[in-house]
Each structure stands twice: as C-alpha cells, then as structure tokens.
Amino acid sequence: MLQKMFIISLFLFLSGCGASSVAHLDSNPLSFDENEQLSMRHWEFVYLNTLDNDYYLLEGKALLLYENLPVKREWLHDLRLTVYLSDDQGAVLARDSQIYHTRRMRPGIEVPFSFQLDAGHIPAATDIFVAFGYSMWISEHRFLGGRHARPLTGDIDAFQIRQGPLLR
C-alpha cells in the first residue's frame, strides 16, 4: 500500500513539474492575417491567425496525407488536433485542442478547425511560433471494440498514430 501511494505521489509531482516542449515539431513563426501552411508526417495544416482582444484565433483546415499512413484503414477514430504556441526554444506557452467523432477515411479528407488561445499571459517581447499535434486511431471497422489485437492470429485491427509535445 505504501509503495502504491509513493508511485501515485511521484506521478502527480512529475506531471505538475514537467513543462511541455514542441521543439522537435515543425513550426512557423506566428503571423497575422496571412494564409500559412505547415506539413507534418500525416497531416497538412492550412490556417489563418487573427488577433481578437487578448486571443489568437487560428482557423483553417487539416488535410490528411493519406498516402503517408503506415497502413490503410477505412475509419478514423478519436481524432484530436492541437495547436501549440511556443517560444523559440519550443517551450509551450499556450495550447488548444479539438476532438472529432468517427469518420470514414479517404484520400483528400479535410477537417476544419478553429482554435482560440489566450494571448494575455504571453510576454510581448517573446518570439512566438505555431506548431500542431495530433492523435488518432485508424481501423477497418466503424466501431472500436475493447480489444484491438487478435493475439492468436497476430492481426492488429486498430493503429494509433500521434505526434505531439514532449516533457522537458
């Protein structure tokens, strides 16, 4: 029991102390009122950033790079798109996420997004960069069951694909 409490305490301590970094992700300098594009391994993001009071509003669409998927499947599940604002060292200053319902995959699929990030706590002299992250499951079936692998055959039905921040 004592060991379990120690592990839980350590996890809570480390999760509170760990700062996120997106230095390993491709990023663009933050610009205003200009169409921007950022390509990653599985998604390409096309967006426009505007300033509304103390908020950055990033709106656009994510285009699935279907040809880059490690396996071809028919359904996309639990898609989470996240935008990160970071400093020049990759330290995350602000983030916003959106989650999307199951949808059929196909080449050319576009997912619209609209992110709102609080700019009020970011120092004015800071160089700001935009990076994106994503997490998703892909499978042959519309509904994901509790078991994604078939151990007797070695077949795997669902694959998780993600790119995102690292703890510093």
Question: What residue numbers bound the domain in which 49 lies?
Answer: 21-141+155-167
Model pLDDT for residues 15-50, shown as the tens digit of each residue: 444 579 999 999 999 999 999 999 999 999 999 999
**Model confidence, pTM:** 0.81
**Residue 46, class by beta-carbon neighbours within 10 Å (0-12 exposed, 13-18 middle, 19+ buried)?**
middle
The answer to whether position 4 is within a domain reads no
The answer to whether position 149 is within a domain reads no
- Could you tell me the CATH number of the domain that includes residue 39? 2.60.40
Q: How does 30-39 read in b/e, with b if 16+ C-beta sit within 10 Å?
A: beeeeebebe
Mean pLDDT score across all residues of the chain: 84
The answer to whether position 1 is within a domain reads no
Largest CA distance in the chain: 58
The answer to whether position 3 is within a domain reads no
Instruction: Give 138's strand partners.
Output: 76, 159
Here the tokens at position 47 are 């967006």
The answer to whether position 48 is within a domain reads yes
Model pLDDT for residues 40-95, shown as the tens digit of each residue: 999 999 999 999 888 999 999 999 999 999 888 889 999 999 999 999 999 999 99
Tally the domains of the chain.
1
Q: How far is CA 15 from CA 11, 86, 93, in A?
A: 6, 19, 17
The answer to whether position 7 is within a domain reads no
